Amino acid sequence: MKIGILGGGNVGGTLGEGWAKAGHEIFFGVRNPDAADMKETLRRCAGRAQAGSAEQAAAFADTVVNALPWPATKTALPALNLQGKTLLDATNPIAPDFSGLEAGTTTSGGELVAQWAPGAKVVKIFNTTGFKNMENPVYQGAAIPMFYCGDDAAAKATAAQLAADLGFAPIDAGPLSNSRLLEPQAFLWIWLALKGGLGRDFAFQIVKR
């Protein structure tokens, strides 16, 4: 699969590297394709990735991942032609001072992304855990869940397959409006990791009786 990734930081770079190892072709859309850290990410992708502008990444693939910081998302997406493409939204609308979420309860970041990218088939996914868990989503021999939600069945199937390719246990969390549930869950993980003393090497798990 050809995957365009907007952003090459911790999340975007980790996702791209994982998918390159799984045999996908990656195009990172970044501000500076020649930056040293981007070149290192490309090296780790072992010839299955390239980097250029956000416009090039969007044109390259039918599946595009938004791994940009939330403030950049607001300005970048409306400038891109994402009509008809599957858009996997990995962002969270976190306030700049980390005091909470900028959107919630009556709307969500995922729903706003759908407004900013008209015609795209948006799926909220890869937002509920940290990049270290994207590198290795297995704890005590069991894959951790990756929740996703959206309104297009084919786009959700693509999202689930890409989560499974990384080693996650994909779980359908319903319509895109349920981003209102997943984004607060993400903020809880972030708070516990950064302020709650747990660090990044933990995950939520589903257990059944």
Full-model pTM:
0.95
| pLDDT in the model for residue 29 | 97
Which domains are present in the chain?
2-194 (3.40.50.720)
Distance separating alpha carbons of residues 2 and 10, to the nearest angstrom: 20
- Cβ pair 79, 68 in contact under 8 A: no
| Cα distance between residue 121 and residue 123, in whole Å | 7
Query: What's the gap between Cα 25 and its chain centre?
Result: 16
pLDDT by 10s per residue, the chain, length 209? 999 999 999 999 999 999 999 999 999 999 999 999 999 999 999 999 999 999 999 999 999 999 999 999 999 999 999 999 999 999 998 888 777 888 877 899 999 999 999 999 999 999 999 999 999 999 999 999 999 999 999 999 999 999 999 999 999 999 999 999 999 999 999 999 999 999 999 999 999 99
Q: What H or E segment, with its residue span, contains residue 27? A: strand 25-29
pLDDT score recorded for residue 80: 97
Whole-number Å distance between alpha carbons of 96 and 173: 27
